[in-house]
Structure 1
Amino acid sequence: MIAKPTGRLVALAAVPAAVFLSLGLSGPALAEDGKAYQIDLAQLNNSGSRGTVMLSLKGTQLTVQIESEGMVPGQPSAQHLHGSTNGHDFHCPDASDDTNRDGILSNTEATKDYGDINISLTTSGDTQATSGLAVERMPVADKQGKVSYKRTIPVSQAVVDHIKDLHVVQHGIDPNNNKKYDFEGAGKSELDPKLPQEATAPTNCGMVMGASVGSIPVGGIETGGGSEESAMVPATATAAAAFAASLAAVGAVVISRRRAVAVPVREESTGGAA
């Protein structure tokens, strides 16, 4: 069963310091006009994953801090801010989105609810949507399945204005509990048959409940992105296209580095790369 996630918006000034310390998070020092929010990550795909995200804005600088657990040990976790900066209302998916009833909520099935990638939460380099599966630049879970991430990135004014309409998704599941991504647990990814579904399926999602007041999108879903050097600008690919383009771009790199990022693939020896 896929648990329906919950999330909340919290003014960090009102949160006791003990809360941050227990999570390993620190309340950011904000400018007078700064804003900060807390998002709870709740499991998808019965992954057991959960976590907390702190988003803080200081002008057009966004600091993202994530502490999550229940991830696949030693595996990279693709993670993103999803949603729209154009007034559309997206949200985290639930079990009803598993439209083919195979027991796995795929990224394609979930995208209609949580929207396209707006910002790729990489550890270095650009944060464009097209870096959505640049696994060599995504955080890797430790031996206990915990991910700690913190990065400050420049964002556009549209992101600043609509930060409450964005939400966090982490990817990577292990339904057969063998502590790696393979084809045995959930078959091939719908994004690229050279990839295991385990590497691309969402493991958790968190949103600012009640904050999105835009309209339900009609037709295509907007995608945003950004870079380390400049403010983020809208991209044109849909979520599936962005994922697929990213897969094609980083596939050879990930295969050559799979020992370093610990992404073993049993059945396919060529192509593909979280």
Structure 2
Amino acid sequence: MKKNSKLVLGASAAALIAVSLGAAPASAHVPTSVRGNVVLTAHLTELNDSGASGKAIAVVRGETIRAIGIRARGLTPDAPHAQHIHFGEDAMNECPTLAMNDSNGDGRLNTVEGTPAYGPIVVSLTTSGDTTPASALAVTRFPVSENGTYKYLRTNIGFTDVAGTGYQGGAGTAADIAEAIRDGEGVVVIHGNDYDGNGTYNLSDPEGASELDPTLPAEVTDPVACGVLH
């Protein structure tokens, strides 16, 4: 009986998000809590002059994201877009700016430059399989935009302990991370920017290789949209 109640709870949360991101009118109100769940919303705005924007809604209870949905637009068309939830005790837990975070002065933000603002990855918002930071660069398991847009929905994502997210770089426990997300300190970041508009992410483009993985183009991992879950 307990298991069935959890399934109903997950379905209700997913339904709430699906309506909020799709059929509901712009004036529809999303409550801050529903039956003990905390409902968080992030309005995603562009980074790196990408033109990307969107909205994310998450329903969190305890140490589990019961459901999370993202609607994004203005993205590189027909390309994969990594997406994550970030948090860190030592971070600002906000979106970065070019003025404050472009440490090498090259006129664009890479993922590492944004970390002091949004913190380390705590959840990889993949379409299937693992959702821990270990899947941060699992490019084939992230949403692919169709004509520059996508809708994403996933249920029952458990928080895990994550090294480097605690005070002074210590380990953060699943309970601590979940509490911080429920308190409005989680940051949703979407990645993937075809800077030159040639239709593909290329190592040969001026941005070169990603600072996270030299086998990946920087265009794959540079952030394009960001929003704080409140």
Settle same-fold status: TM greater than 0.5: yes
Which of the residues 124, 128, 152 maps onto 2:128? 124
Aligned to 1:165: 185
Equivalences for residues 242-253 of structure 1 within 5 A = none
Aligned to 1:241: none
Equivalences for residues 1-274 of structure 1 within 5 A = 21=24, 31-62=34-65, 63-84=67-88, 86=89, 89-96=92-99, 97-142=101-146, 144-152=147-155, 153-155=157-159, 156-163=174-181, 164-182=184-202, 183-208=204-229
Q: Which amino acid aligns with 1:161?
A: E
Write 1 or 2 for the structure with the bigger share of strand: 2
Q: Percent identity?
A: 36
Distance (Å, rounded) in 1 between the aligned partners of 2:93 and 2:58: 18
Q: Which amino acid aligns with 1:181?
A: Y
Q: Which amino acid aligns with 2:217?
A: P
- Over the aligned positions, Cα root-mean-square deviation in angstroms equals 2.9
Q: Which amino acid aligns with 2:175?
A: Q
Distance (Å, rounded) in 2 between the aligned partners of 1:195 and 1:118: 21
Aligned to 1:218: none
What secondary structure is seen at the aligned counterpart in 1 of 2:128?
A: coil
Q: Give 5+ residue unaligned stretches, structure 1.
A: 1-12, 212-274
Q: Which amino acid aligns with 2:224?
A: T
Distance (Å, rounded) in 2 between the aligned partners of 1:135 and 1:17: 27
Distance (Å, rounded) in 2 between the aligned partners of 1:194 and 1:81: 23
So what's the TM-score if we normalise by structure 2? 0.74
What secondary structure is seen at the aligned counterpart in 1 of 2:113?
A: helix
Deviations, residues 61-89 of structure 1 (Å, cap 9, x unaligned)? 311100001111111111100012x4754
When the two structures are aligned, how many residues end up with a matched partner? 192
Q: Is the 8 A contact 1:31 1:58 kept in 2?
A: no
Q: Give 5+ residue unaligned stretches, structure 2.
A: 1-15, 160-173
Distance (Å, rounded) in 2 between the aligned partners of 1:32 and 1:78: 31
What secondary structure is seen at the aligned counterpart in 2 of 1:181?
A: coil
Cα distance change of structure 1 residues 87 and 116 upon mapping to structure 2, 3 Å threshold: closer
What secondary structure is seen at the aligned counterpart in 2 of 1:207?
A: strand
Aligned to 1:224: none
So what's the TM-score if we normalise by structure 1? 0.63
